[in-house]
Amino acid sequence: MKSLYGKFLLNTIAIMIVSSLIAFLAVNTYYHQVLKGYNDEKNMGIAESIASFIETNEGLDLEQYLETQAATGYKLYVVNEGKTATLYGEPFRVENLSKSAIEGVLNGNAYHGMRNLPSETFVTGFFSSELANTVGVPFSYEGSKYALFLRPDIKMLFTEVHYILGGMVLIMAVISLLSMLVVAKKLIDPITALTAATKKIGDERFTNVLDINRKDEIGQLVKSLQEMTEKLSENDRIRKEFISDVSHDFQSPLLNIKGYSELLLDESLSIEKRQSYASVIQSETERLSSLTQQLLLLTSLDQLSSPLAIKNFRLDKQLKETIRKYRWLLEEKRMTLSMDLDEVNFNGDPAFLEKVWENLFSNALKYTSEEGVIEISLKEKERSIVMSVQDNGIGINDEEQERIFDRFYRADNSRTQEISGTGLGLSIVQQVVKLHDGTIRVVSNKDRGTTFIITLPKL
């Protein structure tokens, strides 16, 4: 596979060759279509002035005069009545003048060889050094008839200025080519670095990937790659932490179950201890079951971009049904519950949203002491629906608020003394709310309580 730099070099050379060819064809076409007649007319005027000068100046040395004219930049081909031809100046590349053309000029007719020269694709008529590519006029000298054929000597017409201009064009072409190669290298080097960076990312090496500072499209690509790398690095960190946390959260209850199961094998245990150990095993089993269910729910949320079964339902009724499930715990802890619920019809996934209310309400119950207060509000705005769960429990400090939605994160041990959790509930809440294009925020003060506020758009 050829490198991008090699392809650029070949393409550049090909473009220069093709453009030169197109330019040549365009100029050649322009000469044949436009300039050829003008060139013929101009040279015909010069030939006629030479013939006129010869005829009007008696005693003129014809040989010397024609040699002088040839020295000024012309090729002259003179034929006398006896068909003897004399060449003045540089020889023609091809002597292809027809006898009929010579006879015609000797008989007093003008010859327009430049105007009538056949058009050829790859031969520019202006530079074609052919005897047929001339103009011819008759003249008389000392009682004899002559035919004069004339065309410019292109070599002599190329002066120092033309060479300077030609050199300038050549130098410009070389410098342009070299400059393009330098520019191409500067463009391709970052792409090479990007390729190496993607290989590093593929090997899960996310540090010191790129050091490219540009303001153009490549710079934007580098910036996007850097952002992607940071996100991949963060996802990699979260994945490893997730695996570690899952392993820990599964290992702890499994060890407890194993340990208490071994203790139950002791036949000398009293009934009270057996019941206590069995209660621990049952509690740890339920914890494992809850953890497994929540992990499966998170997996389904992660894998599908929109796993929602949208239905229209009464959101206030769903909240009341969810709260009714926890009535026993409210009574057990002698807590006060106040509800301010508008009648709200909402388009969403009732199954997933029920998990949101369950997690928020169970957290409020979990982290609020006995005889505490919980307030639940549901308000319908012009373009949104706002639901809040407020408690006067132990609260969350500012540092912990930034991480409470992370998976497996628990704010502190005191928050899990009464009812152990998995650390996945708020992650589920946040993801479900996002899937409904909503937002969730927390307002909390340590030892003064916490308020979770969810805003859902009207779909």
CA-derived radius of gyration, the chain? 49
Higher pLDDT, 438 or 32: 438
d(CA 304, CA 298): 10
**Contacts of 228 by beta carbon, 8 Å cutoff, 6+ apart:** 201
Q: What are phi and psi of 207, to 5 degrees?
A: -100, 145
Positive or negative: CA dihedral 178, 180, 181, 187: positive
The predicted-structure confidence for 435-457, as pLDDT tens digits, reads as follows 889 999 999 888 788 999 999 99
Q: Which amino acid is at 210?
A: L
Whether 356 contacts 432, CB under 8 Å: yes
Domains 4-158 and 311-457 share a fold: no
Q: What confidence tier does 66 reach under pLDDT thresholds 50, 70, 90?
A: very high
pLDDT surpassing 70 at residue 105 = yes
Class of domain 4-158: alpha beta
Q: Which own/partner contact pairs does 221-226 have at CB distance under 8 Å and 24+ positions apart?
A: 221/194, 222/190, 222/194, 225/194, 225/197, 225/198
Helix 315-325 crosses helix 350-366 at what angle (to 10 degrees)? 40
| pLDDT at 335 > cutoff 50 | yes
| CA distance linking residue 23 with residue 146, whole number of Å | 41
Total-model pTM: 0.45
Contact (Cβ atoms closer than 8 angstroms) between residue 389 and residue 376: yes
- Give CA–CA dist 319/444, Å, rounded: 22
Looking at residue 141, its pLDDT comes to 92
Closest by CA position to 395, among listed 453, 455, 448, 451: 448
Give the CATH number of domain 311-457. 3.30.565.10
Average pLDDT over every residue of 277-300: 77
- What are 218-259's pLDDT values in tens digits? 777 777 878 887 777 777 776 776 676 667 667 777 888 888
Q: 115-172: per-residue pLDDT in tens?
A: 888 766 555 556 678 898 899 999 999 889 999 999 988 776 665 555 666 778 788 8
**Strand ranges, E, within 320-448:** 336-341, 345-348, 373-380, 384-391, 439-445
Give CA–CA dist 438/353, Å, rounded. 12
d(CA 262, CA 268): 13
Exposed/middle/buried for residue 215 (C-beta within 10 Å: 0-12, 13-18, 19+): exposed
Domain borders along the chain are: 4-158, 193-303, 311-457
Q: Which of 380, 364, 369 is closest to 334 using CA atoms?
A: 369
CB neighbour list of residue 127: distance below 8 Å, 6 or more residues apart: 154
Structure tokens at 310: 């949208």
